[in-house]
Structure formats: C-alpha cells, structure tokens
Amino acid sequence: MQHKISVITVVYNDVKGIRQTLESFFSQTCAEKELIVIDGGSQDGTVDVVRKYADRLAYWCSERDGGIYDAMNKGIAHATGEWINILNAGDVYANEATLQQVVDFMAEQGAAADVIYGDSIAVGRDYDQLEKASTDVSLMDYYPIYRHGSSFIRTEVQQQFLYDLSQRARFGYALDWHMIYRVYKAGYRFQKINIPIERYLVEGASSNVYRNFYYNYKVTSEGRFNLRHFLVLAKSSVRYAFSRSWLYRYLKGFGTEVMVNDVLPHLPWRLRRAYLKLLGMRVGKGSFVMKRTYFMAPWHIEIGEGSHINRGCTLDARAGITIGNSVSISHQVNIMTGSHDVRSRRFEGVFEPITIADYAWLGIGCTILKGVHIGKGAVVCAGAVVTKDVPPYAIVGGVPARKIGERPQDLDYHCYWNEPFT
C-alpha cells in the first residue's frame, strides 16, 4: 500500500497503557497501516492484553531486551511500511483521523520529505496542553523542535539511523533525540504537518526539564565544548526558571490579556497587527481583524492572505487555529478549541485545534467547536453550532449544524478591508 505506516509500540509492565494505545491504533480510519508490538517480558498481564489483538498485529513478541531503545530497534527490523512512527504504550493519537490526515499529506506534499512531524498534546493530571512544533528546522542545531512520537520517518532512513545503544550511558533517555539529530546533520529533509499527532502523558524521567536542556546540549555539542550551544543551554534554563515565577505570571497576564483585549481594541489595525505578530501570531498579506475581537493564546493563530474577521468574535486558540486565504468570518463568531470532559470527576480540560480552509464563510453568531475542520469554500449559516467536520463547498446550518446545500466551486475573491481606524 502506498504511504503505508508501520507503527511501533514498545511496552513493559503497563497493562492499562497498552490497552488504550492498541485501541487508539485500531480506531484509526486509515487503512494503510500496521502495528508492531515489542514487549520486554512483562509480568503484570500486559502480554495477555496484547495476545487478544495478536491476529490484528503485523508482528509482536515478549522477551527480555536491553531497554526501550533496544526494543525500538527490534521493531524497526520488522517494519514493512514506507514510514515508521513510534507510539509508546500509554500514548494515543490525537483523534481517529490522525493517520489518514498524515497519509493525505504524504500523498499531496510529502514526496520531498524524509521526516514528517507535527504538533503534540501534553496530557497532565487535570489539563491538556497543545505543544506546537516549530517550522524552523534550523533550530535543531540546538534542540528538538518536535516530540519524537509526533513524527514519521521514512523506513529506509530509520533503518540506516538506528538508536545507538553504545551511547546509552552518555545520553540516557535522550537517545531518540540523538538519532533525530544525526538524521538532521546528515542533510535529510524535514517537513511539518500542521496537526497534532499524539496525546502523551506528562510523567517519567523525561519530564525533568533542566535535564532535558542538558541532554540537548550534550547531543548538539557532539562531545566538544561549544560556547554558542552552552549559551543556548544557559538561556533556556534561565527562561524556564523565570517562567515559573510569580513575576512572569503577572507580566504575561498584562501582555496577553490587558494589552491584547483591553488596550489594542482601541488602536488602529496596523498597531494591533504589529503587537499580535510580536506575540507570535501569523497574519498573511491583506488579512484584517476588526476591533473588539477577543483573543486567547493568539500565538497559536495562523491566518492566510485576504481574510477578514469582523467585530465581536472570540478566538480561543489554546489548541491552535489555522485560517486559510480569503476566509470571511462574520460578527460575533465563536471559534472554541477548548472544552471540558463532562464525564471526568476532575472536570479536565480538553483541547483540539480548528482549521478553516480557503474561501470559507462563517455566518454571524455561529460557533465552531474543538477539533472541527471547515472545508474549502464551505458556508456556516448564522447561529449554527458546528460539532463535526464540514465538507468542502457544503452549506450547513442549525444546532447541531447539518448540510442544507452546496456552494459553487469556481470561487475567486479576497476579503480585503482597509478602512482607516477600524
């Protein structure tokens, strides 16, 4: 199968985690996939769970090994797909369509890539938090720009760059970053897909941030003292320490809440745009956001060219909002990437990104809920509540929104707006 993905899961004594990881894989709508499970000789019932899925697995074994990276190398040896993804026990995919979205991306844009990577969702005790991967591949001269489990590497490349077990004592749990760095330095091509790939549990040894910084330095300095890399290590450590302080909390609140939602709405767009871009928001040529739009996490917003957002909208971008070209968003539209798990005893936050494709039109007062993709040229009627993906050029309305018509497909316009003081 073209673009077939070999998923490798390694596990040791994690009966709860392996079950949810297997279910996440088999719930994927993508057909071009296989699962390889390498168990390290579990004694807690993990093997019994894996055995129940045995007839659906491409390969599995349960035997003592030399640790997680030895197990990953074993899995790589049995991969038959074009691409390899590592999904550790306990981690799951962002949604049921994740692998299909990746395969579609591979077919359309991934021909020149050797590694495709995306965003991740960190799952804590009472929160989900989007972790955006950088599009600036050159930053890998200093540190990883994505999480290992949120990437897909061509099998021929991965089999050439196995995890170097001889370096375990030196790099510890950063042996995966050591592998990625070697691929990067060898000149292979990395390309980002703008979706979250995996939801991973925030726990374990690799959650020690300062140790992570140190391992990043050890890998990228390649065994020699490097002043520039050492300064990056120092800067990262100081920045992280400051981010945990009460002063940072108040400064961030002032800069991202008071300035963005209280001060900026009174200023012309040129000034608002400059400040929002300073925070990390990306706005294409000719796009315009009118006054009195409420922003949450604007640094996770990307807007294409010639798009227009009217007054009174709410843009909750905590999980990321991507808006294409020539998109028209009417007054008082709510785009909400965040919610809560109503079945959870702890009322945990749940976040999924929203994508609005080119030429879409969102009618006045409609609401777009987490995880929704609005297709190219689609129309959402006034007051509708969208809970599921909207196909390209479909017209939807109602609560919840349902398809009520089709839009012409020969669209050719821009939503420019250049009135002064608006």
What is the rounded distance in angstroms from the CA atom of residue 350 to the CA atom of residue 297? 15
Q: Low-confidence residues of the chain, pLDDT below 70?
A: 1, 125-127, 203-207
pLDDT in the model for residue 176: 93
What is the rounded distance in angstroms from the CA atom of residue 160 to the CA atom of residue 185? 14
Scan for tokens 């499970």, then name that residue: 37
Element (H, E) at 164: none
- Catalytic, out of 266, 300, 340, 414: 340
Closest to 334 in 3D by CA, of 364, 308, 291: 364
Whether residue 340 lies in the annotated active site: yes
Domains in the chain, ordered, with CATH? Answer: 5-207 (3.90.550.10), 268-406 (2.160.10.10)
pLDDT in the model for residue 256: 93
Question: CA of 347: how far to CAs of 91, 125, 372, in Å?
Answer: 20, 11, 22
As a whole number, the mean pLDDT across the chain is 91
Q: What is the CA radius of gyration of the chain?
A: 23
pLDDT in the model for residue 303: 96
pLDDT in the model for residue 314: 97
pLDDT in the model for residue 341: 77
pLDDT in the model for residue 246: 93
pLDDT in the model for residue 126: 65
Q: Kindly tell me the burial class for residue 150, based on how many C-beta atoms sit within 10 Å of its own C-beta (0-12, 13-18, 19 or more).
A: buried
What is the rounded distance in angstroms from the CA atom of residue 254 to the CA atom of residue 260? 9
Element (H, E) at 25: helix 15-26
